[in-house]
Amino acid sequence: MIYVVGSINVDLVMKTSRMPSQGETLTGERFFINQGGKGANQAVAVAKSGSKVAMIGAVGEDDFGREAIRSLIDFGVDTTYVCKVSGNTGIASIWLADQDNRILLDGGANLKVNETMIQKGLALAKPNDVVLLQLEIPLTIVLYTLKLAKEKQMMTCLNPAPMINLSQDILNLTDILCVNETEYESLVHQKLDIHMPIFIQTMGSQGVTVFHQKHQFHIDAHLVNVIDTTAAGDTFIGAFIARYEQSKDIQASTAYANAAAALCVTKYGAQQSIPTKQDVVTFMEVNHD
């Protein structure tokens, strides 16, 4: 079983020909609403890759929150441990322009995730179950979750995004760390020890590099027509964890996740752009992965 502890957002997306300058007003080309949040996106990626997954998080008592839960259920995510709290559901305002995205986030209900929610959500967790976290909920809750997971002998996975200053305690409790180039540079700048069992660095069009114990390998990115990169990182880590839970094969799991992320960026949206397991398998067969 995979437990995703993290954010649930609604994405308000505007496409534009270019990013506006300071004080400038531009007319967008299209507007749409996505169900998003790094936690929710990763949970959907896990579910679409065929693993059982439960979401632990919070939404507001508003229409956005109700729609977010419905969407997760539709994608096969267990929402038993998604709590409704006072205030608004998390909101992300996203601008898309020329293969780029900029995001402005209001954490909303995500900032009210607390220890009681984590205790209830992980009450039935067993040794070797997986917990996957990001950084769109309070950092104190991330640390608390990791400690509780270790007490239960669970496998822990952290995607430190969006990047903030981290304590070494958090990394010491992490079995699998997955970062992009910016996040990696921040960890180095913070002079943190990142020698955990599995360290994954995604590099966009440059592919992905994995460090496992004393070994390392690199997988090149697929050449695809990039439409929207919004959920690419979330797709990668969710797909990787799902496949790794099923196979315990790091290289095969990385290749699978690399293909899943490539497919994701060829479509608009967040959760709806995440490919299914069959989509990924077919893509890999065609591209001889």
Could you report the per-residue pLDDT of 262-274, keeping only the tens digit for each? 999 888 777 888 9
What are the CA-CA distances from residue 281 to residues 48, 72, 142, 200 (Å)? Answer: 12, 23, 33, 21
Task: Count CB-CB contacts under 10 A for residue 166.
Answer: 20
Which positions ≥6 away from 38 have C-beta within 8 Å? Answer: 6, 7, 134, 136, 159, 161, 234
The residue range of the domain holding 83 is 2-286
What's 109's domain CATH number?
Answer: 3.40.1190.20
Span between the terminal Cα atoms of the chain, in Å: 27
pLDDT of residue 205: 85
pLDDT at 21: 83
- pLDDT: which is higher, 92 or 244: 244
Report the candidate in 122, 108, 147 with the shortest Cα–Cα distance to residue 55. Answer: 122
Q: Residue 239: which of 71, 78, 55, 53 has the closest Cα? A: 53
Return the pLDDT at 219: 94
Q: How big is the CA angle at 214 (ends 213 and 220), to the nearest 5 degrees?
A: 90
Mean pLDDT confidence for 88-108:
86
Indicate the pTM of the whole model: 0.92
Per-residue pLDDT, averaged over 85-94, amounts to: 92
Q: What is the sign of the dihedral through the CA atoms of 192, 193, 198 and 201? A: positive
One-letter amino acid for residue 190 of the chain: Q
- pLDDT average, residue stretch 274-287: 92
User: Per residue in 140-199, pLDDT tens?
Assistant: 999 999 999 999 999 999 999 998 999 999 999 999 999 999 999 999 999 999 889 999
Whether residue 96 is predicted with pLDDT greater than 90 in this model: the reply is no
- pLDDT(41) > 90: yes
Q: What is the pLDDT of residue 248?
A: 92
Cβ–Cβ under 8 Å, residues 169 and 179: no
For this structure, is 234 an active site residue? Answer: yes
Q: Out of 49-63, 94-108, 160-174, 250-264, which region has the weakest mean confidence (pLDDT)?
A: 94-108
Q: Which of 11, 234, 249, 289 is catalytic?
A: 234
Backbone angles phi, psi at 3, to 5 degrees: -110, 125
Q: How far apart are CA 245 and CA 52, in angstroms?
A: 10
Residue 130: other Cβ atoms inside 10 A: 23
Residue 110: DSSP 8-state: G
How many domains are there within the chain? Answer: 1
Bridge-partner residues for 14, per DSSP? Answer: 31, 95
